[in-house]
Amino acid sequence: MQVGFLNFYGAVLDVGQQRATLVANNIANADTPGFKAQDVPFDAAISAELTPNPSPDLAVAAGPQFRADSTVALDGNDVAPDNERLEAAQNGERMVGATTFLHQSTADLVMALRPNPGGV
């Protein structure tokens, strides 16, 4: 039996890993002519992770998508390294928060399941 918060925060960490990979790829290709930055829409990706059989529309919406709000340089590249570093920092903070919550919650669960050695 899995506890609900484990599913949710596991999905948060999975989506965070996907976003970290895409942001790192964007930063690595900041000087590549014609490269288009990609990201994963967090809300749609979490919904797809938590839905047992997501619809094809949800699966497509949860996949990597090109960023539409970026300014395109003369070489066709739309990666802004400062924005990518900001996205990486925000994503990292979200993952640290989820990891901290999971650690504390599972520690509390283990403590609650231990027998009371004092007998009181």
Q: Output the pLDDT for position 38.
A: 93
**Residue bearing the bigger pLDDT, 19 or 113:** 19
Instruction: Tell me, rounded to whole angstroms, the distance of Cα 12 from its chain centroid.
Output: 5
Count helices and strands (H / E) in the chain: 4, 2
- Across all residues in the chain, what is the average pLDDT? 87
Report whether 94 contacts 8 (CB < 8 A): no
pLDDT bracket for residue 120 (50, 70, 90)? low
- Is the pLDDT at 80 greater than 80? The verdict is yes
The domain limits of the chain are: 4-113
Among candidates 9, 15, 8, which has minimal Cα distance to 98? 9
- Predicted model pTM: 0.81
